[in-house]
């Protein structure tokens, strides 16, 4: 889902060129789907008029991990395996995605932030660190902006925030046609072809498509082929216009976030421009790069991603 933020006029062009060429670089061997340890328990948590599928494990300071489009909470397996050693790790599937329920509405990121706050309430977690990717970033910002006292640190990975920075130019890019790809006929086109549709994202937005293996692709394609899954995924994108309006209002009302933020851009995707974008909404931003990776950092270079995240959370 990523789009590069313009950095003095050239950042977006660099991203678009990389996405269209699909350059292959030498990368570490990417992990397959990493199962969550047996110590993790799963449950459906009732929250904000819906129910979210949530994985919970470990003891210690809480950390919430939020996924984006093309993934589910399953993407966080390698990171959860490390964090569970000394954290309470909370990994939900977002509203309408993965194994969570499929309500008819509520897909603005401001509303989904309330979903996550409700999960924290149900688990009796007053505060947590936050790690997010892709659309999860958008939910994460709405969560941190609405409940700043409840978020201690935020790691935000490789996707822009609606209404923030150069968003209005970003959404004009032809590479991002999928932002407006939805409707009944679109759903009929994609039905039964979910794997073909998702392959487009994994292939074009990765540094090396071969790092996203067949097992991983088949796993997520099967989840997105479940009833209403693609419809509700499209609803996530349909809400972007309202998300932009909401984000501008949240920033105007509350000012910049004050908790420490690590803005991670993938080397072959957002790069250092990720931090440029976050500085519009946060005052304490550290920049980081996931090397040898496109947008799908947990699939392409999980080892480096886990190291960067755990080092920041451990400060």
Q: Looking at the domain assignment, is residue 2 inside a domain?
A: no
- In this predicted structure, the answer to whether residue 29 has a pLDDT above a threshold of 90 is no
The count of domains in the chain is 1
Give the lowest-confidence range in 22-31, 97-106, 251-260, 278-287.
22-31
Give the lowest-confidence range in 125-139, 175-189, 300-314.
175-189
Q: Looking at the domain assignment, is residue 84 inside a domain?
A: yes
Q: Looking at the domain assignment, is residue 270 inside a domain?
A: yes
Confidence of residue 11 (pLDDT cuts 50, 70, 90): very low
**Of 43, 86, 90, 36, residue with least CA distance to 63:** 90
Q: Residue 10: its pLDDT value, please? A: 40
Question: What pTM was computed for the model?
Answer: 0.91
Q: Looking at the domain assignment, is residue 96 inside a domain?
A: yes
Q: Is the dihedral of CA 166, 290, 200, 78 positive or negative?
A: negative
Q: Looking at the domain assignment, is residue 85 inside a domain?
A: yes
pLDDT tens, position by position, 150-207: 999 999 999 999 999 989 888 888 878 888 888 999 999 999 999 999 999 999 999 9
Q: Residue 127: its pLDDT value, please? A: 98
Q: Residue 309: its pLDDT value, please? A: 98
CATH number at residue 83: 3.40.50.1820
**Whole-number average pLDDT of the chain:** 91
Angle of CA points 202, 1, 101, to nearest 5°: 95
- In this predicted structure, the answer to whether residue 5 has a pLDDT above a threshold of 80 is no
Q: Residue 204: its pLDDT value, please? A: 94
**Do 133 and 159 touch, CB atoms closer than 8 A?**
yes
Residue 109 domain boundaries: 11-313
Q: Looking at the domain assignment, is residue 63 inside a domain?
A: yes
| SS3 at position 252 | helix
pLDDT tens, position by position, 48-87: 999 999 999 999 999 999 999 999 999 999 999 999 999 9
Q: Report in angstroms the alpha-carbon separations of 296 from 70, 205, 219.
A: 9, 7, 15
* Residues 6+ positions from 130 with CB-CB distance below 8 Å: 63, 64, 66, 140, 143, 144, 151, 153, 154, 155
- In this predicted structure, the answer to whether residue 12 has a pLDDT above a threshold of 80 is no
Q: Looking at the domain assignment, is residue 3 inside a domain?
A: no
- In this predicted structure, the answer to whether residue 103 has a pLDDT above a threshold of 90 is yes
Q: Looking at the domain assignment, is residue 6 inside a domain?
A: no
């Amino acid at each position: 889902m990523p789009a590069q933020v313009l950095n003095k006029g050239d950042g977006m062009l660099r991203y678009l060129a990389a996405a269209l060429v699909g350059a292959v670089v030498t990368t570490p061997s990417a992990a397959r789907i990493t199962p969550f340890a047996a110590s993790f328990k799963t449950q459906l948590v009732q929250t904000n008029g819906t129910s979210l599928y949530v994985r919970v494990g470990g003891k210690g300071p809480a950390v919430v991990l939020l996924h984006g489009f093309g993934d589910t909470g399953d993407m966080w397996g390698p990171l959860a395996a490390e964090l569970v050693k000394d954290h309470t790790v909370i990994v939900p599937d977002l509203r309408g995605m993965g194994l969570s329920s499929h309500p008819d509405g509520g897909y603005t990121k401001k509303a989904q932030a309330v979903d996550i706050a409700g999960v924290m309430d149900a688990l009796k977690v007053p505060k947590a660190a936050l790690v997010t990717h892709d659309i999860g970033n958008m939910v994460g910002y709405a969560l941190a902006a609405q409940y700043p006292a409840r978020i201690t640190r935020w790691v935000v990975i490789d996707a822009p925030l609606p209404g923030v920075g150069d968003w209005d130019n970003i959404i004009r890019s032809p590479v991002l046609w999928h932002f407006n790809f939805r409707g009944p006929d679109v759903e009929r086109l994609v039905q039964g072809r979910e794997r073909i549709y998702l392959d487009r994202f994994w292939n074009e937005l990765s540094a090396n498509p071969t790092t996203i293996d067949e097992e991983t692709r088949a796993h997520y394609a099967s989840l997105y082929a479940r009833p209403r899954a693609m419809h509700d995924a499209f609803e996530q994108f349909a809400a972007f216009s309202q998300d932009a309006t909401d984000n501008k209002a949240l920033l105007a009302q509350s000012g910049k976030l004050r908790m420490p933020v690590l803005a991670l851009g993938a080397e072959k995707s957002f790069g250092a421009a990720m931090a440029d974008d976050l500085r519009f909404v946060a005052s304490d931003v550290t920049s980081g790069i996931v090397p040898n990776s496109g947008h799908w950092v947990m699939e392409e270079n999980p080892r480096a991603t886990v190291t960067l995240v755990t080092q920041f959370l451990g400060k």
